[in-house]
């Protein structure tokens, strides 16, 4: 009969050292940004809500296929029967100011 295995704490120690190294790197980046007057990573500005993003997209759903397709035109998707496509959404209308 074998004796009880002893606990190996090397993995726990390595994880703790890696965590401390990440925290220190984070602290250094924060100090560098504060010294240079920069803020954190830049977030892209969103366009105004009424402005179109790109080409218009019509969203179609087929219950028999359990599938959703988008098309750039208002015409139904051309596929094998059954032709049971339902128009879910139209592209947003441009705002008339």
The predicted-structure confidence for 35-82, as pLDDT tens digits, reads as follows 887 766 666 676 666 555 666 788 888 888 888 888 888 888 777 788
Q: What mean pLDDT is reported for the chain?
A: 78
Distance in angstroms (rounded) separating the CA atoms of residues 33 and 85: 53
Structural domain boundaries in the chain? 58-89
pLDDT on residue 27 = 93
Higher pLDDT, 43 or 25: 25
- Percent of the chain residues past pLDDT 70, beyond the cut: 69
How many Cα neighbours within 13 Å face the side chain of 10? 2
Report the C-alpha gap between 69 and 59 in whole angstroms: 6
Residue keyed to tokens 């500005």: 45
SS3 66: coil
Structure tokens of 33?
């940004």
Of the candidates 92, 93, 94, 60, the residue with the CA atom closest to the CA atom of residue 74: 60
In this prediction, residue 2 carries a pLDDT of 62
The predicted model scores a pTM of 0.39
The reported pLDDT for the residue numbered 56 is 72
Query: Strand, helix or coil at 29?
Result: helix
Residue 19, pLDDT > 90, answer: yes
């Amino acid at each position: 009969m074998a004796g009880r295995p002893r606990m190996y704490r090397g993995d726990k120690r390595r994880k703790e050292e890696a965590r401390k190294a990440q925290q220190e790197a984070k602290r250094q980046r924060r100090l560098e940004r504060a010294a240079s007057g920069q803020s954190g990573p830049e977030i892209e500005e969103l366009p105004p809500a009424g402005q179109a993003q790109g080409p218009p997209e019509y969203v179609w759903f087929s219950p028999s296929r359990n599938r959703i397709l988008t098309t750039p035109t208002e015409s139904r998707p051309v596929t094998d029967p059954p032709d049971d496509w339902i128009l879910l959404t139209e592209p947003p209308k441009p705002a008339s100011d």
